[in-house]
Structure formats: C-alpha cells, structure tokens
Structure 1
Amino acid sequence: MRVIFALVLMVGLGLAGGAVYMARNYIEGYQSELAKERANRKPEIETVAVFVAKRSLAYGEALTKEDVALVQFPKRVVPEGAFRAVEELFPANEDRPRLVLRAMEAKEAILAVKVTRPGEDAGLTTRLERGMRAFAIKVDVASGVSGFLRPGDRVDVYWTGRVRGSGADLGSDEVTKLIEAGVSLVAIDQTANQDVEEGQVARTVTVAATPQQVAALAQAQSTGVLSLSLVGATDDTVATAIEVDQRSLLGIQREEVALDVEEDKVCTIRTRKGAEVVLIPIPCTN
C-alpha cells in the first residue's frame, strides 16, 4: 500500500509540475506577444515638442534658457506662434535677451506675442502695428471709466463741445458726438503692462491710431472734452454715427419762424385811349 501511495503521489506531483510549467510558458508567451504589439503600436495622439515656462514670468523680465523647457504638446492644439526649436527662441550669435511682454504661469507655452524680439525693448513700440501711432488722451475719474481701463482694452471716444460758426443754429448748443470707435489702448499713464491687478484712476491713456485718427483726436482734444466708453472684450458690433445735443436730449423741438415776405409794390397810372382805360406802370415814389 505504501508503495502504491508513493507512486500515486509521484505521478500527481509530476502532473502538477507539468501543468505549472505549461501555464508559465503560456503566460510568458502571451506577455511577450503583448509587449511586441505595444511596442509596434503608434501613439494614438501625435505630439510635437514645444517650449514652455518653467516658472512664473512677470512683465519686463529677461527670458533665459534656464526659464524654459521642452514638453510634448498634441500637434493639433499647438498654439500659433509657439517656439519648437531652440534656434527660434534663442538665435545663434545673439547675446541680447528677449523680454516678457505678458505675464506667464509655469508650464504655459512661450508664444511670439508674449515676448519681444532679441534685444528689443518691452515698450510701446512693440505694441504698435505697422502704420499705427501712439497718441495720449487726458482723462479723469469720469472720462476714464473710473480706473477700470487696462492696456489691451478697446474704447469708443466721444467729443463734447460747441460748434463755432455763423448762422442761427451753429454754436447755440453743446454737442456730444462719437468720433472714434473701437480704439485700442496700449498704455495707462506710464505703464504698458496688461497684467495690472489693482485699478487706478489714470491721468492719461495712450491709444494706437492711424495718422488720420491722431489728427482728429488732437483737434477734438484742443476744442472740447474727450470721454471714453469701454467696449466689451467679445463685442464685435460696429458703432454707428452718434450725435446728441441739448435739444435732442431734452426732446425740445426747434420752432420754425415764419418770415413775412413783402410783396413787390407796383404803381400805375390810368390812361384812357378812346373807350378803353389802360394801366401804365410807373416807378413808385413812396
């Protein structure tokens, strides 16, 4: 009995060992094939390398190689103006740094609109597009929208004054008129930083305008009072011609004065020619 029991035990152990060996080979083969498939499989989302900020960057800071890093971005959502090569962001044989134009947070993509060109100043000249000029407008707490203006905002410019000239109507009432719509602000007082956190009442605002607009604004500022109206960030409407005077504001109708037109006086004398009486015109003495 003991010999039979020993034989059965040995056969059982042999079968169990064979089963374990076969299972291990099957699992290892499955894992090997799965690894090969994963290695041969292409990534589902195509990515490209893009430079991002390693730390928070403030307006006016110099951008260095230590401040940036390359990370993988989905190719379909890479922001326009992103830098993908070190030669683009830091050109060879160029020791002058780029300056930060807009504050950036850590891991935010470095874009061309957020930094200057190498060696370029982070002043107003970088904010002006081709053909545009900077013009300063004097404002106060009322005309400057109570300190809510920021560089980068758009405003409508209104002029209030008296129209000088001859005639019964000219110069009789003050007029407020929209003279420029959707003008871009590039600076508030002496700062062009778009990331000003605290509101302050400005004394001057600087706008970007064409030479023709500059001439119109200069003439308007010297002959009346300019007021600004803040335009919404997503507002794409076009303001029409707007003009309001005191009479239209109060609903007063202008009275039309009827002029008495004196008819020309005709003087005549009567002359009889036979049986007929003829009226002959003569100059009037009175």
Structure 2
Amino acid sequence: MNRRFLLALAASALFGLVAIMIFRNILQRQVDDVKNRNPNQIVHATTKIPAGTTIAANQVRLAPYATVPLPEGSFSLPADVIGKIAQVELDANLPIQAKNIATLDKVGPGNRLKEGSRAMAIRVDEASSVAGFTTPGSIVDVVAVVTPSANSKPVSKVIVQNLRVLANGTNTQARTEAQGRVGNTVTLEVTPAQAEILTLAMREGTLHLLLRHPADEEYVNVPPVVMTGVVDEYKTDSRNTTPATNTTAIPTNYPGWFTPPPPKSSPTPTATPSPAMRMAQVRVISGDKVDTVQVRQ
C-alpha cells in the first residue's frame, strides 16, 4: 500500500516537472519570437520636443535601433520617459537618453534654457506684467519708457521682442488663464545682447511687458513715441470732433501768440513853420499927400 502510494506520488511529481518545463519552453519561445521580430527596440521621439517641455505619450514611440551597442541611457519602455521633463531640445526620430531628461523635482532653471541663451529677471508690477498672466512659457515683447536727458520728454519704444517667460516670481510652472499670478519679477530667456539692452533700459526708466500669441513670431518695427507726437496725432485725427484748442481764451492779437505783431507805424512828418517876416511902415510924401506903405525888412 505504501509502495503504491509512493510510486503514484513520484509519477505525479515527474509529470508536474515535465509540464513546467514544457510551459517554460513555450513562454521562452514566444519571448524569442518577439525579440527576433523587434531587435533593439528603444524609445524615440516622434516630434521635436522643446527644452522644458513635459514629455507626453504622443511624443514618443518604440522603434528599432540599427547598431549595437545601444545608446547609453536609452529606454526600452515609453512609460519610462512619459511625464519627464526635457532638459534640452529633443530632435524627432532620435533615441531619448537619460542624460537629456529629468523628473520635475530635479529640473533646475538653467536646464530650461536653449543653448546660447541666458535667464534674466526684470522688475514688474501688476500693470507692467499684464495683471500676472505672463506665466512660464508665455511669449512677450518689452516696452521701455525712458527720459533721454534732463530737458527732454519721456520716450516709449519696443526694445526687444519674442522673449520666452521662464518664471513669474519663483513660479516656474505654467498656469491656466484663470490662475494669473503677480510676482515682483519676471524671468525672461534672452541673448547676451538683449540682456545688455534690458539692463540699461531698466536702470534708466521703466519696463512693460506685451503678451503676444505663441504662434506670432513676426518682428515689428515701430518708431519711438513721445507725448508731443501723441498730442499732435490727437489734434489732427479726423475722427475727433472736439476742438483741440479753445482759441477764444487766447489773446490772438497779442504779439508772440498766433498772429505776428502789427508793424510799427512811423510818425507823420510835420512841416516846419517858416519864420515870421518882419514888416516896417514907410511914410511916402508926395506934394501935399502922405501915404503909409509896409515893406519887408
């Protein structure tokens, strides 16, 4: 009885081991088939991914890599890169490597910059920062208002265009339009030349930001504006029905206002009176007749 039981137990164990080996071989064969069909599959970018962008699922795919060894730090699963931050611009159809991406808590401000760019903070307030809606990722122009000299009037001019906002205050994350936030500073991505212009303008006057559409990359060339020009344009605007100046209150007949002074009249010459003639009386006696005659002396 015991012998039969032991034989049955041994046979069951043997059949179990055989079944496990067969199942393992089937699974291994399937894995090998997948590897043979897709050799060296690693994660590639499907489109250009800008620096500082969170990688989305539709921006990556698995694709075969022709050469061996594989690039250092490459990934075999898309899930390993989705949700990470691109520290540099990632080109389309190239493998994504670990050195070029990072988790959100490990991304520093410098990693968001394009090559050759700099980060510069400028002072702003609620008005000059478009009520706080200049969020990270926004594209802005900068207007400077400066007074060139002590005797001149303030001048307004667009000095730099198409700058990317890196941070609003200490916030580096983009917000929705309903989440505007006002900070004391806005950090912009600039070139060294643009940094010089902004530094000088910030020292000499005030800066204001102009929020622009992300797809609008056109540079505009507008002349500087002074208050005199604004007033003159208002006066000559044909749509303006209000008189630019109330001339009735201005003494237009006063020399130096709107009419030239009247010419000075020369005095009318007066005739010099002739000196009075002195006359003398002469008595003429002719016989017994005596006449008196006046003669000039």
TM-score of the aligned structures, taking structure 1 as reference length: 0.48
Q: Choose 1 or 2 for highest CA Rg.
A: 2
TM-score (norm 2): 0.47
